[in-house]
Amino acid sequence: MTDLLAGLWAGGSEPAVTVAGHALHREELAGRALAVAAEIAGAGAVALHATPTAETVIGVVGGLLAGVPVVPLPPDSGPAERAHILADSGAELLLGAAGTGADGLPLVPLDGLGAAAARPATPPPAATAFILYTSGTTGAPKGVLISRQAIAGGLDALAAAWAWTPDDVLVHGLPLFHVHGLVLGVLGALRVGSPLVHTGRPRPEAYAGAGGTLYFGVPTVWSRIAADPAAAAALRPARLLVSGSAALPVPVFERLAAGTGHRVVERYGMTETLITVSARAGGERSPGYVGTPLPGVRTRLADEQGRPVPADGESPGELYVRTPVPFGGYLNRPAATAEVLDADGWFRTGDIAVIDPDGRHRIVGRASTDLIKSGGYRIGAGEVENALLAHPAVREAAVVGTPHADLGEQVTAYVVADGVTGPELIDFVAGQLSVHKRPRLVHLVDSLPRNAMGKVVKTRLADR
């Protein structure tokens, strides 16, 4: 593995990173990050107030240069969540702008350290780069240990898959405390050596005015751009649009293709595995599919009893993946690690997928919420959601299974729509899919609950 931050030292006159209009040239970014590295050297871990700012990038790079694990803190996290992450991670310092609440930890002011020139020794490849916390949907958030070599290998595979080079200009406006916005969206650019323009917030007009060649977004971002003809047209000169963090609805894929001239590249990954499956820049891009495994990655499907599920393009099963460098486990949770990672390196994702004979993967959803067992049938929520979204009156849709005395579970939809009734939508889906897949209950709602990455939080749908 070469230097994880190889592109940082590559030179060039253009800014390495621009965040919400604040430009950092490579020399300034390196100097300020080296000052951070000198300040935190020897710490066991440091927390980072991960706002969408240039200072966050400086803090991340400083931690990597020092070989100190960085623990990104979501800026909107509540007191209980922050307290848990800080205590669980063992963070000894907090990196943030002057005046940032330090939660009882010594504050290292990222905007007040100046610059330094001395480069510390490069940490070993197996060293932990980040402790990234899961969303905590099934209990307290767990700290995921991500190594430098896992990041380097994953980014190199994506650079090859997407033909990503220093000649690109990457644009995104994603949060800087997740894999998508932070690892891919910051470290990817610094490793490849391509300039990064972070828009601060992912507004359509900001993407339209950024002048990039490579754009990252989540489905919510792409849906809004597809609905804005001027913003969509402004992306026509781009080279590649990439979508991730949640399934891109087929109607959004098609509207975006019509408006931008681009068939979006979709990819799939998790905090624990980073990105494992992706469509290719020079290959087929099919709506509803996230592509094929990256080099060195293996996948398989299994049913609830662990028995193999065929890759026939029809049969859903839980997706297992094996990566060249498995994640380092959940911090302080060996039992939880053993539940998802076996001795051979197979990781149980908890996601339901379908794999066709050509190896193309389609993600149906989470096993816990998106595989509906109704009347002896196994129904993927994502397929029903795409059918609902094909109706011109429907703006958003989420489908779950709810208890039913006879069927076990019934297909239940929560829909944001105008000028259409629940029975009309039931009939519409029944006309597109097998009749047993139609919703038996449709709730028309004003909005769907979403997290910071734009994913629908299905456990909160009943609140609507």
Name the CATH code of domain 6-201 (choices 2.60.120.10, 3.40.50.11890, 3.40.50.12780, 3.30.450.20). 3.40.50.12780
Let me know: does 63 contact 70? Beta carbons within 8 Å: yes
Q: Contact, 383 vs 390, CB < 8 A? A: no
Domain boundaries, the chain: 6-201, 240-366, 371-463
What pLDDT score was predicted for residue 58?
Answer: 97
The owner of tokens 């709730």 is 443
pLDDT digits (tens, 9 = 90+) for 185-203: 999 999 999 999 999 999 9
The answer on pLDDT for 138 being more than 60 is: no
Query: Which pLDDT score, from 0 to 100, does residue 382 have?
Result: 81
DSSP secondary structure letter of residue 149: H
Predicted TM-score of the model (pTM): 0.84
The per-residue pLDDT for 13 is 75
Among residues 257, 243, 252, 202, the alpha carbon closest in space to that of 395 is found at: 252
Does 371-463 carry CATH code 3.30.300.30? yes
Could you give phi then psi for residue 254, rounded to 5 degrees? -70, -40
**Top-level CATH class of 240-366?**
mainly beta
What does the pLDDT look like over 192-231, one tens digit per residue?
999 999 999 999 999 999 999 999 998 889 989 999 999 9
Residue (of 442, 435, 154) closest to 295 by Cα position: 154
pLDDT tens-digit series, residues 382-402: 888 888 998 999 999 999 999
